[in-house]
Amino acid sequence: MNIVIYLIQNGANPDVPTVRGETPLHLAARANQTDIIRILLRNGASVDARAREEQTPLHIAARLGNVDIVSLLLQHGAAVDATTKDMYTALHIAAKEDQEEVAACLLDHGASLTSTTKKGFTPLHLAAKYGNIKVARLLIQKEAPVDAQGKA
């Protein structure tokens, strides 16, 4: 953490991407580094920075199930329904990865229950497809459409 503070104090840009397009915020989310994320956000890091597949730090935190980081990113204005190249929102990812706490947090911040991926899947479709009953129950409890049809 000290190195991050040192670099920022000496003019380092908190949004310089890697060759994969990931910014320090993406890397900190992947490494579950909440304190570093706080420092980066306080120093102007773009909360909705996009990596190669249009993935944001929120998508990464949702996949890894880190509700503290998800909440922190949302508090700093992360777009709750930002989509990846394949049109996955963080809620789609949480549903697919069985991240119930993350899904609840995203829903509390207004995540869409009806958005569809490029293949036409809603978050409920993905929870069902991957056998994630707790997330499916949560989505139904929040009134996810149970009769939504994907693409043929």
Instruction: State residue 151's pLDDT score.
Output: 62
| Domains of the chain (ranges, CATH numbers) | 3-142 (1.25.40.20)
Reply yes or no on whether the pLDDT at 152 is more than 70: no
pLDDT tens digits for 117-149? Answer: 999 999 999 999 999 999 999 999 999 888 877
pLDDT band at 6 (very low <50, low <70, confident <90, very high): confident
Q: Please, what sign has the CA dihedral across residues 20, 2, 47, 127?
A: positive
Structure tokens that stand for 35 in this block: 């304190």
Q: What is the pTM assigned to this prediction?
A: 0.93
Q: pLDDT tens-digit profile of 8-61?
A: 888 888 889 998 899 999 999 999 999 999 999 999 999 999 998 999 999 999
Residue 5 half-sphere exposure toward CB, CA atoms < 13 A? 4
